[in-house]
Amino acid sequence: MSSDLPAPNDHRFPPSARLHTRREYGRVFYRQQKASARHLVLLLTPRQGKSEAQRPRLGIMVSTKVHKRAVRRHQLKRWVREWFRTTGQHHCPGHDMVVLFRSDPPADGHHRLIHELDHLLRKALAATPQPGSGRPRKKKGRVG
């Protein structure tokens, strides 16, 4: 029985483990299992199709309002990707996940951030899916 998940000591973050397009992010935002904490919001949604066999995917959003310096924003993303590779992907096979930063954690808060992510993942997996508050789709065709 082979798994699509990499070995625990595999430190790659391949394109198949990422959310890429606006449509993929939008699907997570529209139908989500949500959990939030002081610094983060975690959105989770099951993937369509053979969800148990599919590799989980991750999207990370850190705005300039969280921190003005790109170096810090990239550091936060690296921390989340590290958590996802080592822990997160093994607990949510067949799901898409988006991590949104609400505020900048303290500079020495790497371990607190990882603890917060673990807690939010358990909370989101236990939550029931809720439709998001996204914009309604525009109808194609003529108006009038």
SS (H, E, C) 88-133: HHHHCCCEEEEEEECCCCCCCCHHHHHHHHHHHHHHHHHCCCEECC
What is the CB-side half-sphere exposure of residue 11 using CA atoms within 13 A?
2
Name, in order, each residue with C-beta under 8 angstroms of 112's C-beta and a sequence gap of 6 or more.
Answer: 105, 106
Q: For each of the chain's 144 residues, which pLDDT tens digit applies?
A: 445 555 555 566 788 888 999 998 888 888 888 899 989 999 998 887 664 567 889 999 999 999 999 999 999 999 999 989 888 778 888 889 999 999 988 888 888 888 999 999 999 888 877 665 555 555 555 554
Number of Cβ within 10 Å of residue 58's Cβ equals 22
pTM of the model: 0.77
Output the six-digit token pair for 83.
Answer: 């958590």
Sorted by where each starts, the structural domains of the chain and their CATH numbers stand as: 15-125 (3.30.230.10)
Q: Contact 104/67 with Cβ under 8 angstroms? A: yes
pLDDT at 70: 94
Report the length, in residues, of the chain: 144
Name, in order, each residue with C-beta under 8 angstroms of 55's C-beta and a sequence gap of 6 or more.
Answer: 4, 5, 16, 17, 89, 93
